[in-house]
Amino acid sequence: MPRDCDLRLTHLDQIDDDHEQLLFALQELAYGDGLGRAGMDRLIAQVVDHFDHELPHLERIGGTLKTRHLGAHALFLDRLSAIRDRCEAEPEHARAELAEITARFISHTNTDDLEIAEALKALAPVEVRAPVGLGDILL
C-alpha cells in the first residue's frame, strides 16, 4: 500500500488531521482488505465531516473560490457514492477507481486546499499598534 504521499500542510490543524485520516482511509479501501459497502459508508461519513470542517473557512472566503470548492466537494461525494453502490459487484474496478481518487485527493489537497489557507491568511486582520514616541521608551 502506498504510504509515501506528499500531503502539504494547510496549517489549519483540523483540516490537516482530516486530510491525513482521509488519505489513510482511501488507501485502506483501495489497497487493503476493507473494501465493501460498510467501509465505503464510513469513508463517505468521514468525507462529509471533513467538508463540514472546511465550510466555515469557505464561508469566510466566499466568492468563486468557495463556489469552485463546493462544486469539487459535490463531485467527490457523487463519485464515492457511485463506487459504494457497485463496490461489492465490481471490487477490482472499485479499487482502481479508489486509487485514482486517492491521487486526485492528494492533488486537490495540495492545490485547492492550500489556496484556501492562503486566502485565509490574506483575510487575517493586521494588528495595528499605536506609534511609540520617545516618552514611551523606558531608559
* Per-residue model confidence (pLDDT) at position 1: 46
pLDDT classification of 125: cutoffs 50, 70, 90 = confident
Range from 3-12, 84-93, 97-106, 120-129 carrying the lowest mean pLDDT: 120-129
Angstrom distances, CA of residue 54 to CA of 60, 97, 123? 10, 24, 16
Per-residue buried b or exposed e for 33-72, using 16+ beta carbons within 10 Å of the residue's own CB? eebeeebbeebbebbeebbeebeebbeebeeeebeebeee
For the entire predicted model, the pTM comes to: 0.84
Per-residue pLDDT, averaged over 24-39, amounts to 93
* Dihedral, 96, 10, 63, 67 alpha carbons, nearest 10: 20
Q: Note the CATH number of domain 13-123.
A: 1.20.120
pLDDT at 82 over 70: yes
Query: Could you state, in order of their start, the residue ranges of all structural domains in the chain?
Result: 13-123
Scan for cell 485527493, then name that residue.
105
Indicate the pLDDT class of residue 34, thresholds 50, 70 and 90.
confident
% residues pLDDT > 70 (the chain): 86
Q: Which of 73-77, 98-102, 135-139 shows the lowest per-residue confidence on average (mean pLDDT)?
A: 135-139
Which residues, other chains included, contact 15 with Cβ-Cβ below 8 Å and sequence gap of 6+?
Answer: 50, 53, 54, 57, 113, 117
**Average pLDDT value for the chain:** 89
| Selected residue with higher pLDDT from 63 and 128 | 63
Over residues 11-27, the mean pLDDT reads 95
